[in-house]
Structure 1
């Protein structure tokens, strides 16, 4: 959605999508907005509670069935197991994505890993396409005036123009561009605490053979799961940046991550967005 700063200020029901790398500050920025006036929509939360709920639960049950004590209780319906996903705890989503590598170390085969990756991709597309209906119903049912969509870090990887067009039609897309300092921090954080990630299949097919050749692995089952995640993250990071930039150029606006520190409240947030709208070619 394109508009001038004056139009944005006068917009009675402001709807914004925040894009950017995980860790760049999207959720922190969204949390500066008063929840009694802004509905906070988390793409990752929607993925976990709606579109991956059953696969996540099935995966947990499959692990539990490996334990004889729990197996008997589950088979007799004496207990039930489910994930407890919250806005602040999305661990079940990442644990379902898993890591590629040695199954004895908790890794996944390439076939199973790709299956889960595609499930996540479809779930993220659905979650983002749900945004227009959520905008409508949270105002109609709950009376929220404004809407903030905290999109997942992998939205730029979906290769689905229809989803981006839908977001741009119903929200102002604001891309948070990382700084060089923050870039180093995020890469170091990923090295110290490697987490499951979503990769485009083409990206994975290109980089996995490079990694295996460099490290001397002959089979995916030999890979320590954290090893690939640590190696590939800087490459994934730099592959995503031009994709975000392209989305911002075509569909939205850009703010610098370094500017987020000056945002203390809703008024500061509005000013931040207005500055971006006044400089669409940033």
Structure 2
């Protein structure tokens, strides 16, 4: 939604969606606000605990069944497995998404990789469409005054206009734009610790064609999973920037990571938002 600085200041029950690449500070900001009467809605947490809970558990059980000792215990119902997903620990979601490539190195085949990507896409759409209901719950059940939606970095990839409309109708969308140094830091972090990523299918197909040609590989099973993530991350990052910006231009506002770093508390964040609204009026 679009508001003037005055209207935002007078908004009794503020509802905000934080948009941007993973690592730009969305969750850190949400954690600060959580201490000051803001309900922290984590899209990735909702995905993992509600919409991908069963597929994640199935994946873990498949791995456990490969260990003879655990296999017999599972088959006899002597043990059970549960996810331990928290807002601060989303590793099971990431592990389920997986990496593409050589199965000997923990990679997934293309068909299975795309299946999980699509499951994640549908789960993220569902989680974002749950936002209005959780805004109501935040106030009516838990007694929070304000609401912050900590959206996943792949929100801009969904290509689902109705979902964006839901967010724009019920929240103010703030795009946190990384400066050049922060972009390079995020790329360096991905090189040091390559994590599973979500790709639009058409974009993934484009990347695969280029990667296989550049690396002189014949098929997906020859791909080193970590190398593909390192190679693809900068390209994915650059492809997302105009997508984030288009959402912010149509539905919300843009602030920089430089500005966000100056925020120490809720009051500082509210002052920053008012400044951004005045600047982009």
Q: How does 1:128-147 map to 2 (within 5 A)?
A: 128-147=128-147
The aligned counterpart of 1:114 is: 114
Q: How does 1:50-65 map to 2 (within 5 A)?
A: 50-65=50-65
Counterpart Cα distance in 1 of 2:13 and 2:32: 17
* SS of equivalent to 2:153: coil
User: C-alpha displacement at 1:227, in angstroms?
Assistant: 1.2
* SS of equivalent to 2:33: coil
The aligned counterpart of 1:168 is: 168
The aligned counterpart of 2:229 is: 229
User: C-alpha displacement at 1:217, in angstroms?
Assistant: 1.0
User: C-alpha displacement at 1:280, in angstroms?
Assistant: 2.4
- Answer whether contact 2:34 2:40 (CA < 8 A) is retained: no
Runs of 5+ unmatched residues, structure 2: none
Counterpart Cα distance in 1 of 2:247 and 2:168: 10
Displaced runs of 4+ in structure 1, greater than 2 A? none
Deviation string for 1:155-206 (max 9, x for gaps)? 0000001111110000000000100000010001101110000000010011
User: After the TM superposition, which of the residue ranges 33-42 and 19-28 deviates more from structure 2?
Assistant: 33-42
* SS of equivalent to 1:32: helix
User: C-alpha displacement at 1:36, in angstroms?
Assistant: 5.2
2:170 counterpart of 1:157: no
Counterpart Cα distance in 2 of 1:89 and 1:43: 13
The aligned counterpart of 1:213 is: 213
User: C-alpha displacement at 1:33, in angstroms?
Assistant: 1.4
The aligned counterpart of 2:186 is: 186
User: C-alpha displacement at 1:125, in angstroms?
Assistant: 0.3
User: C-alpha displacement at 1:279, in angstroms?
Assistant: 2.2
Counterpart Cα distance in 2 of 1:170 and 1:280: 20
* SS of equivalent to 2:217: coil
How many residue pairs get aligned? The number is: 281
The aligned counterpart of 1:15 is: 15
2:40 counterpart of 1:40: yes
Indicate the RMSD between aligned Cα atoms, in angstroms.
0.9
Counterpart Cα distance in 1 of 2:226 and 2:41: 31
Counterpart Cα distance in 2 of 1:3 and 1:182: 29
What is the TM-score when the length of structure 1 is the normalising length?
Answer: 0.98
2:44 counterpart of 1:30: no
Deviation string for 1:110-164 (max 9, x for gaps)? 0000000000000000000000000011211111110000000000000001111
Counterpart Cα distance in 1 of 2:18 and 2:138: 18
